[in-house]
Each structure stands twice: as structure tokens, then as C-alpha cells.
Structure 1
Amino acid sequence: MPVFSYLAYPEKGAKEQLLKDLSALPYCEATPAENEDILILLTDTPDEVIEKALQKQLNALKSLQSLGMTFGHTGA
């Protein structure tokens, strides 16, 4: 059960679009930061295979500039 948290940096002017894009993905919960032009992203996938597939989906988002991992945990 991999659980990760990230700071998600949108492309310039794409914060709202990134929020929509991330919220539409399974296993994702996105929240806009109140004082910065970033989002907080939590992911909780059932296994490593689905986590890798989700990472590919995240990498393909045009509204996403970069992700900075703040916490990661893989349940054993």
C-alpha cells in the first residue's frame, strides 16, 4: 500500500487546470495551497504495479511542471 505526498507545481497559469487533472485521477487527493501557487497531492495506491501506472499518468499531465516528494511509505 504505497502512500506518497507531494508538492505539485503547475505550469504557469495552470493551477486550476492541474487541480482538475489531479482530482480526476484515481488514488489521488489534491488540495490547493492557500498562500502559494502550488498544490498538495496525496496518493494512496493498493500496490506497486498500480503506483507505477499512476506515476506514468502523472508524468503525462501537461498542466504539471514538477512534483516534489515530501513523504513516501510502502507498507510491507
Structure 2
Amino acid sequence: MPIKSYLAYPQDGKKDVLISELLNISYCDVIPSENEDLIIVVTDTENQKQDDTLKATIEGLDSLKLLAMVSGFNTPKN
């Protein structure tokens, strides 16, 4: 199961919109910064295909300026 964390930077003035959109996406936890236009996004998906689809969905949000992966972990299946 891929678990990844990202820093999501919103378009100017769109932080609240981006938070709202991210909260509506499954397999996504959202932690907004209190003092910056920055959102921490943690994803936890069942498999790589689901992870790829989720990342593409996030990257397709109009309110998103930049998505930077900070960390990733994948538990291999035996």
C-alpha cells in the first residue's frame, strides 16, 4: 500500500478552495498550514494504480499551483 506525503501550494487566493476540493477526495488526509499558503496532503491507497489515479486527480485541480512529494513508502506484497 503506497503511503505518500505532499506539500500542496494553492493558486493565489485559492487556499480554502483547494482544501475543500482535497477533502472531497478519497484516500486523502489534509492538514492546512496556519501561517502559510501551504497544505500538507497525506495519501494512503490500496495499490500503485489507485495511487497513480489519485495523484492525477490532485494534479488536475484548478486551485492547485504546485504539488511536491515529500516522502513515499510502499509495503511490498509477499
TM-based fold match above 0.5: yes
Unaligned runs of 5+ in 1: none
Whether contact under 8 Å (2:3, 2:42) holds in the other structure is yes
Runs of 4+ aligned residues of structure 1 deviating over 2 Å after TM superposition are: none
Partner of 2:58: 58
Tell me how far 1:59 sits from its aligned partner.
1.6
Counterpart amino acid of 1:55? K
Query: % of aligned pairs identical?
Result: 39
In angstroms, what is the RMSD of aligned CA positions?
A: 0.7
1:71 aligns with 2:54: no
Whether contact under 8 Å (2:5, 2:41) holds in the other structure is yes
Whether contact under 8 Å (2:10, 2:63) holds in the other structure is yes
CA distance in 2, matches of 1:60, 1:68: 14
TM-score w.r.t. length of structure 2: 0.93
TM-score w.r.t. length of structure 1: 0.95
Secondary structure of 1:22's counterpart equals helix
Tell me how far 1:35 sits from its aligned partner.
1.7
Unaligned runs of 5+ in 2: none
How many pairs were matched up?
Answer: 76
